Chains A and B, each alone.
Chain A
Amino acid sequence: MTGDTGGRPLIELEGIAKHFGEGETRVEALRGITLAVGPGEVVGLLGPSGSGKTTLLNVIGCVLEPSAGRMVLDGETVYDGRWTRRDLRQLRLRKIGFVFQFHNLLPFLDSTDNVALVLDLAGLPVAEARRRANELLDYLEVGHRRHAFPAALSGGEAQRVAIARALANRPRIILADEPTAALDSSRARVVVDLLRRLAVEQRAAILVVTHDEKIYDRFDRIFHLRDGALEVERPLTRSRRKS
């Protein structure tokens, strides 16, 4: 089911809506979201608290079923009535990489095994998984911390290990939830630049939820979300991005 879709968007949302509750308690969390993110693109998703950013991330991450709309991830139409919980789990494992605000590394695994775990879950032999994990850690310049446990890593190092984990299965889609929130401005820029590099090299679509103004200029496009609806899609010029 995987494959290069060329210039075709890897994330396609069409009229996605999500509501919680019914009657008087009904809350419209997402309203008619339509967006597309193509290969090699790094897109920012901004919005105030409660605007629906995390809900949208959950929907795209296949952990929350939308109430209405159509979603296509890497050419596969999700939630069309054929998807079981197992299928969604497999889809997440194969096609989506997650980067979290607080890195969410498993505290009882060292850096190598945190990355290798995803490969192990995908069925790779442990030795091979570890070899590839170490390659990734070297690539992300945290190879020297491969035996360190998350508690011993700095914020930047932990986030790099988390990115390595997100990339381990070479996913076409990477969803990042406030990946720079716990980092200072210089480290934040380094992390986003890293994501940009990966997007280009791996032809992946990267969607970053953020409040961090320091990194706005690192995105190809920025979506603003307010009260569950996309308000603005603001493209950034290359020159501004590179400044």
Chain B
Amino acid sequence: MNLAYRDIRHHRGRFLLTCLGLGLLLAVVLSMLGIYRGLVADALTLVRAPAVDVWVVESGTRGPFAEASRIPGDTREAIARLHGVAAAGSLTYQSVETRHRGRRLRLQVVGYEPGRPGGPPRIVEGRPIARSHYEMIADRASGLLPGDRVRLGRNIFTVVGLTENLVSSGGDPVVHLTLRDSQELQFELAPSAARRQMARGTAPGSTDFVNAVVVRTRPEIAPERVAETIRRWRRLSALTRAEQERVLTRSVVDKARKQIGFFTTLLLVVSAVIIALIIYTMTMDKLREIATLKLIGAPDRTIVGLVLQQALAMGILGYTFGALLILAVADHFPRRVILRPEDGLGLGIAVFLVCLLASGLGVRLALSVDPAAALRG
């Protein structure tokens, strides 16, 4: 006769409610793990999207994501001529805020040269940019649809295609424009400012700048070699893809990553304490029954089984509730939540161990119950 099951069945409402509460807590832990993974993945999306091997940026900087970088627009031609370079493309990066259909829209604008490295990795709906001006490819996360018209700076752009899961390290959806449009957006002065500059006798500066040049190397050439060659030029810095990813994870999202990591650890500890308290309280509620069981001759394994099986059942049900909940709502988070099977499995094992350890307290309490307590009034 399984006493744990019978007790749960008899108090199923209370037990399910407890599991639901625990499930909510575990859902928060899972969501934090997912947010953590999403933050790192988002941070690396922009680096990985162009699928390039070397990033060329302004000398002495670790741009274009960790630090500002500005290099002449003709750098790409010089780089493209280097030995081992298969293709090179110029890129600009810029955050803009606009309004669309009455709502505020924050976007990460990437300017690229169609036909060269640095463009959107995969268009899931619509078509690539075909005209040299005023067309854009937007990420689905922006809520924009093909055919939508959006004002950026002084110009209106038409959405012609959509990408998926392409956001900046800050979580802003990415839109791709032609390099020329993005340079105009980033470097060209507003007419009033240009007039003031003219009045001061200073001609408006050139807008032919880019933030980075990205390089695809030939398969037989190691990217480190190309990067090393570029570094010798002194006016430029070069980072391989691995270096760029390291810079992003260690500099750009490092604090957020640590913050979430600490918070997740704290949540795990809180969950462990709560599980232990619940199991302890559940055992406390049954002290008289345990004393009676002992008095009528139940062996210790029956008592231990009662506590342990309930603890594990609570852990399994709570975890299942939590996992189902987070799977159901993960897509509704404002930022990407990535639920990896290994994280889920890891938390599952952690919950199992916590239940096992926490039930130790309950088991200890149960085994210390004096059977004579059943005879006390």
- Residues on A close to B: CB < 8 A? 54, 57-58, 61, 63-64, 86, 89-90, 92-94, 98, 100-102, 104, 106-109, 113, 116-118, 120-122, 126, 129, 149, 165, 177-178
Contact B10 A107 (CB under 8 A): yes
> Of all chain A residues, which has the CB nearest B1?
A120
Contact B295 A61 (CB under 8 A): yes
What residues on A are CB-neighbors of B293 within 8 Å? 106
What residues on A are CB-neighbors of B297 within 8 Å? 89-90, 92-94, 118, 121-122
What residues on B are CB-neighbors of A54 within 8 Å? 372, 375-376
CA distance A177 to B293 in the complex (A): 16
Contact B370 A108 (CB under 8 A): no
B38 to chain A, nearest CB (A): 44
> Of all chain A residues, which has the CB nearest B376?
A54
What residues on B are CB-neighbors of A118 within 8 Å? 296-297
B51 to chain A, nearest CB (A): 61
What residues on A are CB-neighbors of B375 within 8 Å? 54, 57-58, 61, 63, 98, 100, 177
Interface residue range, chain B: 20 to 34
**5 further A-B pairs in the complex, CB-CB below 8 A; given A63-B372, A104-B292:** A89-B298, A98-B374, A102-B377, A104-B289, A108-B6
Known: A107-B10, A109-B6, A118-B296. A64 touches B377 (CB 8 A): no
Contact B6 A113 (CB under 8 A): yes
> Of all chain B residues, which has the CB nearest A95?
B297
CA distance A92 to B371 in the complex (A): 11
Question: In this assembly, does B7 line the interface, its C-beta being within 8 Å of a C-beta of chain A?
Answer: yes
Contact B6 A92 (CB under 8 A): no
What residues on A are CB-neighbors of B292 within 8 Å? 100, 104, 106
Known: A106-B289, A120-B1. A63 touches B370 (CB 8 A): yes
What residues on A are CB-neighbors of B296 within 8 Å? 92-93, 98, 117-118, 121, 165
What residues on B are CB-neighbors of A63 within 8 Å? 295, 370-372, 375
Contact with A along B283-300 (1 / 0, CB 8 A): 000001100111111110
What residues on A are CB-neighbors of B7 within 8 Å? 108
> Of all chain A residues, which has the CB nearest B375?
A177
CA distance A58 to B357 in the complex (A): 33
What residues on A are CB-neighbors of B104 within 8 Å? none
Question: In this assembly, does B103 line the interface, its C-beta being within 8 Å of a C-beta of chain A?
Answer: no
- Residues on B close to A: CB < 8 A? 1, 3, 6-7, 9-11, 288-289, 292-299, 302, 370-372, 374-377
A186 to chain B, nearest CB (A): 23
> Of all chain A residues, which has the CB nearest B370?
A63
What residues on A are CB-neighbors of B288 within 8 Å? 104
A114 to chain B, nearest CB (A): 10
CA distance A74 to B10 in the complex (A): 38
Shortest beta-carbon contacts, A-B, top 7:
A93-B297, A108-B10, A108-B7, A104-B292, A92-B297, A63-B372, A63-B371
What residues on A are CB-neighbors of B376 within 8 Å? 54
Known: A57-B375, A113-B6, A121-B302. A98 touches B295 (CB 8 A): yes
> Of all chain A residues, which has the CB nearest B288?
A104
A209 to chain B, nearest CB (A): 9
| Max count, chain A CB within 10 A of own CB: residue among B10, B292, B298, B377 | B292
CA distance A7 to B23 in the complex (A): 62
What residues on A are CB-neighbors of B11 within 8 Å? 108
B9's partner among A94, A108, A116, A165 (CB-CB below 8 A) is A108
Contact B1 A117 (CB under 8 A): yes
What residues on B are CB-neighbors of A98 within 8 Å? 295-296, 374-375
12 of the cross-chain contacts (CB-CB < 8 Å) are A61-B295, A64-B372, A90-B297, A100-B374, A104-B374, A106-B293, A113-B1, A117-B296, A118-B297, A120-B1, A121-B299, A126-B1
CA distance A63 to B371 in the complex (A): 7
B3 to chain A, nearest CB (A): 8
What residues on B are CB-neighbors of A94 within 8 Å? 297
What residues on B are CB-neighbors of A120 within 8 Å? 1
CA distance A104 to B292 in the complex (A): 7
A220 to chain B, nearest CB (A): 23
CA distance A167 to B10 in the complex (A): 25
What residues on B are CB-neighbors of A106 within 8 Å? 3, 289, 292-293
B307 to chain A, nearest CB (A): 14
CA distance A121 to B6 in the complex (A): 15
CA distance A134 to B52 in the complex (A): 79
What residues on A are CB-neighbors of B9 within 8 Å? 108
> Of all chain B residues, which has the CB nearest A165?
B296
What residues on B are CB-neighbors of A178 within 8 Å? 377
| Max count, chain A CB within 10 A of own CB: residue among B9, B296, B377 | B296
CA distance A86 to B371 in the complex (A): 13
A107's partner among B289, B370, B374 (CB-CB below 8 A) is B289
